Amino acid sequence: MTISPLALPFPDLPAIAGVTPRVARARYKNWDRCDLTFVTLDPGTTVAGVLTQSKCPSPEVEWCRRALVMGQARALVVNAGNSNAFTGDRGRAAVEAIAAHTARDLGCQPSDVFVASTGVIGVPLPIDKAEAGLAAAFEAQPCSWQEAAETIMTTDTFAKAAYSQAVIGGTTVNLVGIIKGSGMIAPDMATMLGFVFTDAAVEPGFLQRALGDANLSSFSCITVDSDTSTSDTVLAFATGRAGNPLLADIEDDGADAFRAALADLCLQLAHLVVRDGEGATKFIRVDVEGAESDRSARRIALSIANSPLVKTAIAGEDANWGRVVMAVGKAGEPAERDRLAIRFGATQVAAGGLALADYDEAPVAAHLKGSDIEIGVDLGLGDGRATVWTCDLTDGYISINADYRS
């Protein structure tokens, strides 16, 4: 496997009190590595989550959606290599068996067990392999965060994780996140499998609000290929072991600090997914301002970020700003050609409906040779603004997905 040229090194992460990760081999695919992640959580752990908006969700997503109502968690099981989506009663039976098996081992309710799976759609998850993998995980020694992050990977080329801190009532709390995602990434909620663990004491309702807000400015602002998975899941678990005053309301002391730390963590994780976009060689930031509303700005930014013509131009390091004009125009949002301004990096290339008279392509060409690219658009209509992140589109994306099931 060739590691993405945009990869970042795995960070040094602290242990989170009340969280114990383990990994094992269930052998869902012919991989010479672990493919089942099992995380136990201390009693009293609260949970929140954001899940795919796909109308064809996996049984795991449906299970988590129901379990989240209870707000409590004792375990997380993540299967890699088989998404178990579009598998009917057999898929549902597999999730129920995993939850029941885990609950028996921990002495908790099945609804305290959260399950996520990723991989090929349409193949039922083998219950015998899942239970054998769980049995091995129960006996395994605790593993590192890096081992856990590597085990949830599918087409990912590098393990992804991030870390942040907050001070609540004089107590420092830690937040760690691991994530997988490389393709089938679009901002229709969470766009991958991501798991956040914190030792903070957080009431589940407040945790849900904080995660939902963080999602809107991170996972819901990235796109690799405009496709939304059947299995997208981001879960946050709070063990309360740090001993901080319980966060239950936005007005509580430390609430803003916690929300900021969670938002920062989620944005770090979201950026890592884009940096591992299938076949990616460029990390692209798209800024839109001057729109009639933030919503309108976001739709235009996504139109640019999802455009195959824009993405291939960036892959070829071609300063073809006309493709950006095209993407703005097709977004279906208010725009006036003769007010539109476009920049690449810090260089203005067009305004007022045409290229600048003194436009020099040399600094733009230099910018496009780098790995971090910026595209800016000013519509000149209002105060709406938005930022989304994407990657370029290369033949590597085609190769990976043409061979995905082989």
46 is catalytic: no
Q: Tell whether residue 406 is among the known ligand binding residues.
A: yes
d(CA 279, CA 348): 29
- Tell me how crowded residue 12 is: count the other CB atoms within 10 A of its CB: 9
Q: How many CA atoms lie within 13 A of 30 on its CB side?
A: 2
Instruction: State which H helix or E strand residue 41 sits in.
Output: strand 36-41
Q: Tell whether residue 154 is among the known ligand binding residues.
A: yes
Q: Tell whether residue 278 is among the known ligand binding residues.
A: yes
Which residue shows structure tokens 């393990």?
159
Give SS3 for 332: coil
- Tell me how crowded residue 107 is: count the other CB atoms within 10 A of its CB: 9
Q: Tell whether residue 306 is among the known ligand binding residues.
A: no
CA distances from residue 366 to 54, 161, 347, 371, 392 in whole angstroms, order as listed: 40, 31, 11, 11, 17
d(CA 108, CA 72): 11
- Tell me how crowded residue 260 is: count the other CB atoms within 10 A of its CB: 14
Q: Which of 45, 191, 230, 390 is catalytic?
A: 191
Nearest to 23 by CA among 181, 159, 173, 162: 159
Q: Tell whether residue 102 is among the known ligand binding residues.
A: no
Q: Tell whether residue 87 is among the known ligand binding residues.
A: no
Residue positions forming the annotated binding site = 154, 180, 191, 278, 401, 406
Q: Which positions are catalytic?
A: 191
Residue positions forming the annotated binding site for substrate = 154, 180, 191, 278, 401, 406
